[in-house]
Structure 1
């Protein structure tokens, strides 16, 4: 009984600590240094989705370079992503005169992503329709794999597949989970958009990367050493205890602590 009480006390303290850090980092000041600033430049739902999805896709490495390379893509699209996607032809690709896009995401990948997005938007008016959970699902494990299969039309051999992670291969799918956080969370703090009204934020998970993983281990939120989907599910258990309606808000605390030099 004493051990159980001690654990509860530690969890209560940890929840209070993380809630405080969420409030500290989750505000409009967060936007100016983060890739989420890219979709914040738009007001049309589809522009936000497309710019957000492409920005999230290239979100690894230095945040400044991510933002610069996302701007490169938007400039090619005439800063009207939805209109560009709907009317894109292969001839438009000749106007992309940069040698690279972002690190290993190259021009061939950008063309493939553009054509896939065009196909999806000709089918549905919003990307939300491609991420729904089915009855009984409590996280995005199956949803993300369904999206991946649809996006690539089950073309397992295309080089671009490496840029959309597979949860079935135990990836944490950090970039997809970050995109979902942007679109789904509805706290009106000026960071996440809450555009998608038909997906419940209680099913979101924290986007797991080096920063959030390292801090989570220091705080004993997780015990696994790998940053993979099993670890995402391990983290879900405790973060959904802390807030069963909005567990992904703790991304602000964990990421903020991870990139700052104060912890």
Structure 2
């Protein structure tokens, strides 16, 4: 394609629009207005984001209902008795064992901090190289450094230390950090700039990237995500992950 950057910019703008929200898991945090509710709903929507999007949305809404559609209040103030209502929850391989651990860690975090942002980026990041990589590793430490952490639950929180592409967590960071006039992403977090984010890369995004010759690695691992982000920084150094909309739209919605 003669003018690939212009084409991808056009596609990014096409899908980065309010019409994108209702059929995407981001619609669940969009049903809340309180910052912490948005964070928690978005976090679980991202963690559940593999498979059919309708199912992902349905399971996230189911969990929010179990939390009384007030996730921050539930996380912060629930008693042991109230945890019992979560025991029947399951999404694919994410079971009640995993959910109860997530809820416990989130409760401990929100009892100390006002925002989930500090689990990733406790202080402002000043154009720090590999900032997201360090933030995701810090999140792993937050969740699994406590004695008693279930070994099986680790698979639900990917880490660049294991060379995972961390698609779901990078998507969550896009939701929380990016901000523009489209109204899709929230832009709630300020300790890291959109310029430092890393592309969420799954098999669909990888397929489109390979078709355009933007990706040589066979697997959508961490190195592939960094390399793809580096390319998009040559087009828009301030907001490279805006092109997630373009590749996702082409790969998933247009079956490109």
Specify if TM > 0.5. yes
- Residue 137 of structure 2 is aligned to residue 148 of structure 1: no
Pairs within 5 Å for 1:43-122: 43-96=33-86, 98=88, 100-122=89-111
Partners of 1:73 and 1:101 within 8 A in 2: no
- What do residues 204-240 of structure 1 show as CA deviations (whole Å, max 9, x unaligned)? 1110101111100001111111110010111122111
The correspondence for 1:238, drawn from 215, 231, 235, is: 231
Partners of 1:72 and 1:101 within 8 A in 2: no
Quote the Cα distance in structure 2 between the aligned partners of 1:188 and 1:43.
17
Quote the Cα distance in structure 2 between the aligned partners of 1:115 and 1:96.
12
The correspondence for 1:176, drawn from 169, 175, 182, is: 169
Partners of 2:125 and 2:192 within 8 A in 1: no
Gaps of 5+ in 2: none
Flag the structure with larger Rg.
1
Kindly report the root-mean-square deviation, in angstroms, between the aligned alpha carbons of the 2 structures: 1.6
Taking structure 1 as reference, are residues 184 and 134 closer, same or farther at Cα in structure 2, changes over 3 Å only? closer
**Structure 1 counterpart of 2:220:** 227
SS at match of 2:207: helix
Gaps of 5+ in 1: 1-8
SS at match of 1:49: helix
Quote the Cα distance in structure 2 between the aligned partners of 1:153 and 1:109.
15
**Structure 1 counterpart of 2:253:** 260
Quote the Cα distance in structure 1 between the aligned partners of 2:85 and 2:217.
46
SS at match of 1:258: helix
